[in-house]
Amino acid sequence: GAVVSQHPSRVICKSGTSVKIECRSLDFQATTMFWYRQFPKQSLMLMATSNEGSKATYEQGVEKDKFLINHASLTLSTLTVTSAHPEDSSFYICSATPGLAEYNTGELFFGEGSRLTVL
């Protein structure tokens, strides 16, 4: 099956620094990628929808300037948490959808997630 790779799987950083998380579709082209966040004991929450070559669409309550999303190619989307603070500590997961309808069976492809801890 199709594979979505996220990197890094875990990152620890100091407060005030910026952290970049990569999401790659390894064997298919993804015109759309989704970024999710999950706090402990809470369900996954969609943060933004990333479309290749255009600006990301952010969900209500998600700060655009804090969570920068770049979908520069059909296989790579990046999420940058700028000036991270302890409250940004969370589990971030991406998912990708193949762009071509004939290959899109509705199956979802997810990265394994990135655990961010801000000290």
Partner 1 sequence: KQEVTQIPAALSVPEGENLVLNCSFTDSAIYNLQWFRQDPGKGLTSLLLIQSSQREQTSGRLNASLDKSSGRSTLYIAASQPGDSATYLCAVTRSYNTDKLIFGTGTRLQVFP
Which residues of this chain interact with partner 1, rule CB under 8 A? 9, 32, 34, 36, 40-46, 49, 91, 93, 95, 97, 106-108, 110, 112-113, 115
Write the DSSP string, 71-105: EEETTEEEEEE-S--GGG-EEEEEEEEES-TTT--
Decide whether 42 or 83 has the Cβ nearer to partner 1: 42
As given in the structure block, the two tokens for residue 9 are 């799987």
Decide whether 42 or 73 has the Cβ nearer to partner 1: 42
CA angle, 57 then 80 then 112, to 5°: 85
Check: CB of residue 71 under 8 Å from CB of residue 49.
Answer: no
**At its nearest, how many Å lie between partner 1 and the CB of residue 73?**
20
Decide whether 16 or 26 has the Cβ nearer to partner 1: 26
**At its nearest, how many Å lie between partner 1 and the CB of residue 40?**
8
